[in-house]
Amino acid sequence: MNRNPMRGWTKAGLVLLLGSVLTAGGVAAPAAAGGQDRGHHRGWDRDRGWDRDRGWDHHRGWDRGWDRDRDRGGEVDYVALGDSYASGFGGGPLLDACGRTAEGYPALLDALRRVDREADVTCAGATASSTPPGAPAGPVDLPEQIAALRADGSLNRGTDLVTVTIGGNDVQFGAVVQACIGPVLPETCAPAIASATAYAQTTLTAQLQESLRQIRELAPRAELVLVGYPYLFEAGTAGPLSPEAVALFSQGTDALNAVLAGQVQRGETFVDVTDEFAGHGVGSADPWIIALGSEFQLHPNATGYREGYLAAITADVHLGHGKGHCRGRR
């Protein structure tokens, strides 16, 4: 499968723009391994599946909601890996060639009291496997992100928290959107989603298992948090995709999220963000996903990263007493 259409875009036309659904375009320099500045559980339960009753109190605010569970603990050493949905692409001005922004959830978590982001190697365009062209011609993929952390020692036994969002580029969501676009459901839509789902359940799963094994080996005391993807289009609305295509596309998102959730082990957490983004997809009255035609199309805006990603993570990730004792969904 050719990943290049997911790498970049021009503003010359909709078809070309669709190629960048889950990635930033252009050339990405290697991700810097070091950080730029040095709730109760929901998540995935293997025995019960999705537990959507989080009890998140939005009136308390993110900082208070997070610190409520951590007041008796020490500073949390944090490392972030993943693609454009982790880097914050679309949230504001780009800070580097990897599409990181100050509104990406690694930066938002770092701004919380007691969270120390030791490293942020997220990079727009990243895939779970090493796929040419590598950096600097292309983005820094997950294996290279892990290698960089290994080389400089940023991911180690002292790491408390590791977040990963990856997989959207592997299943080529851009090509899937292109196959599903139209006022009525195209015949190409369902086969494209089926193909992407099969790839996620086989090839992507194997790639994730190896990368996550390496992360666990490097940081055995850390809570590993896999963060999923939102629904991009609002259910029941007509727009670039018909309501029928939107429903199928959301089913494909569910399948990808299920693959990510299926990788978590005891003491780890899968963060589902679909509840937070409900009512805020493309076509809604208050979209948190940037519409087609923008340089940052189909990525969260600043509100999406704060009200969606940050809210979900701080509701789900529960830290215990002191350094090295993070507690995830068991």
Choose the catalytic residue: 20, 87, 211, 299: 299
Q: Which residues contact 22 (CB under 8 A, 6 or more apart)?
A: 6, 83, 84, 85, 168, 169, 173, 174, 229, 298, 299
Residue 299 is a catalytic residue: yes
Choose the catalytic residue: 20, 84, 87, 154: 84
Q: How far apart are CA 188 and CA 202, in angstroms?
A: 22
Residue 41 is a catalytic residue: no
126 SS3 class: coil
Q: Which residues contact 187 (CB under 8 A, 6 or more apart)?
A: none
Is residue 169 within 8 Å of residue 3, measured between CB atoms? yes
Q: How far apart are CA 99 and CA 151, in angstroms?
A: 22
Q: Which residues contact 158 (CB under 8 A, 6 or more apart)?
A: 77, 221, 323, 324
Active site (catalytic) residues: 84, 299
